[in-house]
Amino acid sequence: MIAFNGGYLHPSLQPDRALGSALGRAARRPGAWERPPLEGVTTLRSWFARQAGEGLTAANALITAGGQAALNTALHALVAPGAPLLVESPTYPGALAAARASGIRPIPVPTDDDGVRADLLEEAFAATNARAFYCQPLFHNPTGAVLAAERRRQIMEISHNAGAFIIEDDYARHLGHGGPVAAPLIADDPFGVVVHINSLTKPNSPSLRVAALIARGPVMERLRAIQVVTSFFVSRPL
């Protein structure tokens, strides 16, 4: 049986030898077992920032212990208990579980072959007064859809007008094949509403629990404050 619900590489595709070698080198570096900066190792933050878009730097990135931890941090920072969270319908079950565990009410917004319906997203914001929208614009889980080019700007404008953030879960960016993929939403965000999540777990190994939250503006301080409380920092050798 081949399980499609996890999204991890088959063991035969994991770069086990390369990961083992890299971890061995990392563990022997001077200062490897000292406490890292709370935001994460600067060079790694810079790498994640470059992946997200031009003009983003290490100051815009926060290292987390995997994508799920990044999502939990974003939810705690952006959505109060009892408040609504707009989500694509259908959506990633782990996002629903994280929201409900925090007392957050997921509100579904229908999708089609081109991703979330922008007109219905606008209606949902007006009806619920939600202040955040969780989405997967690239290789949506579970449909595989990619958000249409003309909708990218629309959903950012709609969220900005609603005074809301977009939590962009970019979990599969490094799993694309067959040609270039669309840039992250945050790369084209003129409003500072996108909080971007990118992870090294899916394209490498379930045990490489390393991801990043990337954002512009004062929201980064809120994300950092939650991260310090929930997990302090990520292991420096990792």
Query: In this structure, is residue 16 part of a structural domain?
Result: no
- pLDDT computed for residue 177 by the predictor: 82
- pLDDT computed for residue 8 by the predictor: 84
- pTM for the predicted model, two decimal places: 0.94
Those residues with Cβ within 8 angstroms of residue 130's Cβ, 6 or more apart along the chain or in another chain: 83, 84, 85, 86, 107, 124, 162, 164
- pLDDT computed for residue 230 by the predictor: 87
Query: In this structure, is residue 4 part of a structural domain?
Result: no
- pLDDT computed for residue 221 by the predictor: 95
Whose CA is closest to 177, among 226, 227, 120, 139? 139
User: Using omega within 30 degrees of 0 as the cis cutoff, is the peptide bond preceding 90 cis?
Assistant: yes
- pLDDT computed for residue 133 by the predictor: 98
Return the axis-axis angle of helices 149-161 and 118-128, rounded to nearest 10°. 10
Which H/E stretch holds residue 169? Answer: strand 165-169
**For every one of its 238 residues, what pLDDT tens digit does the chain have, with 9 covering 90 and above?**
766 667 788 889 999 999 999 999 999 999 999 999 999 999 999 999 999 999 999 999 999 999 999 999 999 999 999 999 999 999 999 999 999 999 999 999 999 999 999 999 999 999 999 999 999 999 999 999 999 999 999 999 999 999 999 999 999 998 888 888 999 999 999 999 999 999 999 999 999 999 999 999 999 999 999 999 988 999 999 9
Structural domain including 147 reads 38-230
Distances (CA, A) of 237 to 20, 112, 165, 209: 12, 42, 32, 11
- pLDDT computed for residue 178 by the predictor: 81
Query: In this structure, is residue 46 part of a structural domain?
Result: yes
Query: In this structure, is residue 8 part of a structural domain?
Result: no
Pairing of strands 61-64, 132-135: unpaired
- When divided into structural domains, the chain yields a total of 1
- pLDDT computed for residue 3 by the predictor: 67
Instruction: Please report, for the domain that includes residue 91, its CATH number.
Output: 3.40.640.10
